[in-house]
Amino acid sequence: MASDTRQELINLISRRELFSSLGQGAGALALAMLLAEQNATAQSRYTLTPKKPPLPVKAKRVIYLFQNGGPSQVDLFDPKPELRNQDGKKPGTGFVNDVDVKKTGTWLGSPFAFHRHGSCGMELSELLPGLGGHADSIALIRSMVSEHENHEQACCHMHTGMPQAGRPTFGAWVTYGLGTPNQNLPAYVALLNPAGMPVDGSRNWSSGWMPPLYQGMPVRASADSPILNLNIHGPQAAADHRLAFLQTLNKEHLKNHPGNLDLEARITNFELAAHMQLEATDALDLKKETAATHAAYGLDKPETEVYARQCLMARRLAERGVRFVQVMMTGQPWDTHSDNSNQLKSLCKSTDKPVAALLADLKQRGMLEDTLVIWTGEFGRTPFAEGKDGRDHHKRGFSMWMAGGGIKGGTVHGATDEFGYSAVQDIVTVADLHGTILQLLGLDYRSLSYRFDSRDQRLTDVHPVSIVKQILA
């Protein structure tokens, strides 16, 4: 094709129209790129090549188990005998529902027994027998605090360090700071329940104002086609030529629009898709796991099958070099405004076994030493009732845990008051948590920055940070 004719096409055909007319997805182009290595990647200012971190590395990768909705700390992780003693009584002055003062109910003691586990004697709810078996491997923080009591803002805060939308998630910061050792798979994957999106949707894995290259790639944890449009449709030769031409147009368009980060990311992602056709299908194929592994995770039981699939996929991606794997649930299932007790029973029945199996599997493979596993929601629940038997959102004190790379197992850090209302000892903010996670990965929260809006931005922004040294090995 003559260069003047090709340039004319570039000027006349919008990329959106061209994508619509092709209708073949990124997959066919991907394989075309394998057959056309001479089409080099656009020279970008941003890459996912592995980077040497400035600090000692304790964890090489992250599996982030996010519990959408806000799990109840006083029913799962933070036993409060006095709360049970005061069950049904009105709270005194200073104890209010931050969502709506008028909704402040009576104290609601937990109906669940707590048992000691491991040589450390960590107290956990009877609803978490699987996790109890790993008490000596986890660090439980009982003194987390957040800044907002609404789901969207609290999720934003936990993921990005600020309640306001539009900033990069810490998964994006990690891939920006470290790159990825496997260029044939995405650096950052968000594993979704195939039944639907989590609350606040794709913002949970967004790169915000960073280049789109660093955003998470959503993958459905389904038995069939976890990644849409990856497979080739139609004649191979036609797809190769058609989509290779599209990549040529993209690259020439980039020459005329240098610095277009969306276009740079599109080109890079097309080339990544070429390699993914060879490796992603294998990584997400759970049929290659043994029946014993399926049973250990709970793939053979309807109540655990979905979360088991997510956890097992997370392990397979992590062992293949994916830097950051984020597991999300549909909607906000831990949002127990009513029937708190029965909802928790169901939720723990569906998630405890897969999580315990993931920890055991990582340990057995020698991966837990350098894989950081994080389990948290965006906030906790009120220790008093909402209505008859529910719990409302609560930011003043809640629990989360971590295990693996660089974590001191069998540790309980911080405490709330006798009712589980406020964190009162060794308080941990979201900025503290993020700074600690970055340090475990070999990144310094003070120096990891990105220039935006005329200043050097950080994950922890301008918040003061105290590394939670007590939970570090």
Token pair 């789901």 is found at 151
| Phi-psi group of 420: left, alpha or beta (phi > 0 → left; psi -120 to 50 → alpha; rest → beta) | left
What's the mean pLDDT in 149-168? 97
Element (H, E) at 141: strand 138-144
* Same-domain check for residues 354 and 456: yes
pLDDT of residue 282: 82
Phi, psi (5° rounding) for residue 293? Answer: -65, -45
Q: How confident is the model at residue 80 (pLDDT cuts 50, 70, 90)?
A: very high
| Among candidate residues 244, 264, 283, the one where a domain is terminated | 283
Residues 451 and 315 in one domain: yes
Banded model confidence at residue 72, pLDDT cuts 50, 70, 90? very high
Q: How many domains does the chain have?
A: 2
Lowest mean pLDDT among 7-16, 64-73, 252-261, 318-327: 7-16
Same domain, 221 and 241: no
Residue pointed to by tokens 């891939």:
175
Query: What are the tens digits of pLDDT across the range 409-455?
Result: 999 999 999 999 999 999 999 999 999 999 999 999 999 999 999 99
Question: Do both 13 and 84 map to the same domain?
Answer: no
Domain end (from 263, 283, 303): 283
**Is 68 part of any domain?**
yes
Spatial distance between the Cα atoms of 100 and 281, rounded to a whole number of angstroms: 48
- The per-residue DSSP string of 21-83 comes to HH-SHHHHHHHHHHT-TTSPPP--S---S----SS--S-SEEEEEE-TT---HHHHT---HHH
Q: What is the pLDDT at residue 231?
A: 56
Contact by Cβ (8 Å): 290, 63 = no
In this prediction, what percent of the chain has a pLDDT beyond 90?
76
CATH number at residue 85: 3.40.720.10
Domain contains 239: yes
* 12 vs 17: CA distance, rounded Å: 10
DSSP for 276-328 reads: HHHHHHHHT-GGGS-HHHHHHHTTTSTTTHHHHHHHHHHHHHHHTT-SEEEE-
**Token pair for 155:** 């999720």
68-81 mean pLDDT:
98
Share of the chain above pLDDT 70, in %: 79
- Average of per-residue pLDDT across 62-83: 98
With beta carbons less than 8 A apart as the criterion, state whether 123 and 138 touch. Answer: no
Burial 217-226 (b: 16+ CB within 10 A, else e): bbbbbbeeeb
Cα-Cα-Cα-Cα torsion 434, 436, 440, 445, nearest 10 degrees, comes to 60
DSSP per position, 375-397:
EE-S-EE-SB-BTTTB--EE-SS
The pLDDT of 345-353, averaged and rounded, is 98
Residue 325's pLDDT band, with cuts at 50, 70 and 90, is: very high
Q: Exposed (0-12), middle (13-18) or buried (19+): which is 310, by Cβ within 10 Å?
A: buried
pLDDT at 281: 79
Q: Is residue 43 part of a domain?
A: no
Same domain, 196 and 106: yes
pLDDT band for position 403 (cuts 50, 70, 90): very high
User: Above 60 in pLDDT, residue 32?
Assistant: no
Least confident among 40-44, 230-234, 339-343: 40-44
| Mean pLDDT computed over 228-239 | 59
Residue 44 lies in a domain: no
Q: What is the mean pLDDT of residues 118-135?
A: 98
Both 260 and 129 in one domain: the answer is no
Q: Are residues 168 and 297 in the same domain?
A: yes
Residue 45 lies in a domain: no
| Same domain membership, residue 73 and residue 2 | no
| 203 part of a folded domain | yes
Same domain, 276 and 301: no
Confidence bin at 251 (pLDDT 50/70/90): low
pLDDT in the model for residue 264:
60
Confidence of residue 248 (pLDDT cuts 50, 70, 90): confident
Q: Let me know: does 19 contact 249? Beta carbons within 8 Å.
A: no
**Other CB atoms within 10 A of residue 129 CB:** 15
In a domain, 95, yes or no: yes
Mark whether 195 and 339 lie in a shared domain.
yes
Give the residue numbers spanning the domain of 369.
60-227+288-471
What average pLDDT does the segment 102-112 reach?
A: 96
Residue 345 within a domain: yes
Across 50-78, average pLDDT:
98
Are 180 and 254 within one domain?
no
The pTM score is 0.85
Same domain, 340 and 212: yes
